[in-house]
Copies of this chain bind each other. A is one copy, B any other.
Amino acid sequence: MFASAPSTLRHVAFALCLGLLAIGTSLAGARAQSDPLPSWNEGAAKKSITDFVAKVTAQGGAEFVPPTERIAVFDNDGTLWCEQPIYFQAAFALDRVKAMALDHPEWKNRQPFKAFLSGDRKALAAQGEKALLKLVAAAHSGMTTDEFAKSVADWLATAKHPRFDRPYNELIYQPMVELLAYLRANGFKTFIVSGGGVEFMRVWAEKAYGIPPEQVVGSSGVTQYRLDAAGKPSLLKLTKVQFIDDGPGKPAGINMMIGRRPIFAFGNSDGDHQMLQWTMAGGGARFAGIVHHTDAVREYAYDRPSKIGQLDKAWDEAKAKGWTVVDIKQDWKTVFAFER
């Protein structure tokens, strides 16, 4: 059809096509220029992130990293969502034991259940940390993986955080949700690497953070494969621990479950120290970030002496090595989405 068109016409048509392409490109450019991290105040922390992403994504740049190697790992408790006044998974476990007590009349006379269910805090405390672990184990074993997932979903739908009076999965940090999306938009694959239970997190992590189940690394218990009388299989959750993904277990968990060394890692406590070291020890451009909880008004303020989320040795190394330390009070315009 166009073979017989005058050559000037063809030139003009060609130029028009280029023009349309250019308009498309400039629209894309305008989108890219809007701030991808609107809940972050301008400052050194935000700049260190955007500078890092710019350099590893610059085609032909000295520090370019191909997309397959853009692995970003995030601790969860205290990094992506709140961890005070107690780890949310512990809150789940305690609520769950109360709910399960109806089916376990024998608990009324068995410690530590007796002390916990009767509200005898003194007796419970006297039994030490082991007592708490027994309660947590009870909430996490003796059921199938499907039943456990349902118990987590049911809890999330009803339980409220004691201070904020909101469902626990609303206590996710808006700046970190933006950071995850920003990294993915720049070709990163985002993973959770948490000391929390992998099956606990997967129930809600995809909706909360856009991180699918297969990109959640965490602690796990042994499961047992069984067939019922009708030949239907299930996985029974046993009390035996399979893997603890915390502290030095985080590099081990990354090695076992991801199999590539991340180039970008974010944590908030000494439990993330080895993950940050492991990330930074690779070749080429690297990023290590720490969320420092400094805002008792909008969230919580804690670091060196805290029982939950202690930040001490990792903080020292961050200062010594120039890792990014995010000061929530200074660096985050918004902490939780519901503030706005």
Give CA–CA (A40, B133) in the complex, Å.
Answer: 54
Question: Among the listed B225, B231, B259, which residue makes an inter-chain contact with A198, where contact means beta carbons less than 8 Å apart?
Answer: B259
Q: Which of A65-112 contact B (CB under 8 A)?
A: 68, 71
Chain B contacts of A14 at CB under 8 A? 16
Is A189 close to B, CB under 8 A? yes
Q: A277: nearest residue on chain B (CB-CB)?
A: B233
Q: A225: nearest residue on chain B (CB-CB)?
A: B248
A256 with B242: CB separation less than 8 A? yes
Chain B contacts of A17 at CB under 8 A? 13, 16-17, 20
* Distance in Å: Cβ of A314 to nearest Cβ of chain B: 13
* Distance in Å: Cβ of A116 to nearest Cβ of chain B: 29
Question: Among the listed B19, B251, B259, which residue makes an inter-chain contact with A216, where contact means beta carbons less than 8 Å apart?
Answer: B259
**Copies of this protein in the complex:** 2
Chain A, interface size category, equals: 35 or more
Q: A145: nearest residue on chain B (CB-CB)?
A: B255
Q: Which of A268-296 contact B (CB under 8 A)?
A: 274, 277-278, 281
B9 with A232: CB separation less than 8 A? no
Contact of A235 with B220 at beta-carbon distance under 8 Å, contacts A214-B259, A257-B214 already known: no
Chain A 255-269 interface mask (CB, 8 Å, partner B; 1/0) = 111111000000000
Chain B contacts of A227 at CB under 8 A? 277
Give CA–CA (A243, B202) in the complex, Å.
Answer: 21
Is A32 close to B, CB under 8 A? no
Is A39 close to B, CB under 8 A? no
Chain B contacts of A251 at CB under 8 A? 223, 225, 233, 235
* Distance in Å: Cβ of A276 to nearest Cβ of chain B: 10
Q: A278: nearest residue on chain B (CB-CB)?
A: B233
A198 with B16: CB separation less than 8 A? no
Is A308 close to B, CB under 8 A? no
Is A12 close to B, CB under 8 A? yes
Chain B contacts of A260 at CB under 8 A? 212-214
Ranked nearest first, the 8 interchain pairs of A and B with the lowest CB-CB distance are A213-B259, A225-B248, A13-B13, A13-B16, A202-B259, A223-B252, A214-B258, A220-B256
Q: Which of A12-26 contact B (CB under 8 A)?
A: 12-17, 19-20
Which residue among A71, A214, A235, A258 has the maximum number of chain B CB atoms within 10 Å of its CB?
Answer: A214
Is A199 close to B, CB under 8 A? yes
Chain B contacts of A258 at CB under 8 A? 213-214
Chain B contacts of A233 at CB under 8 A? 251, 274, 277-278, 281
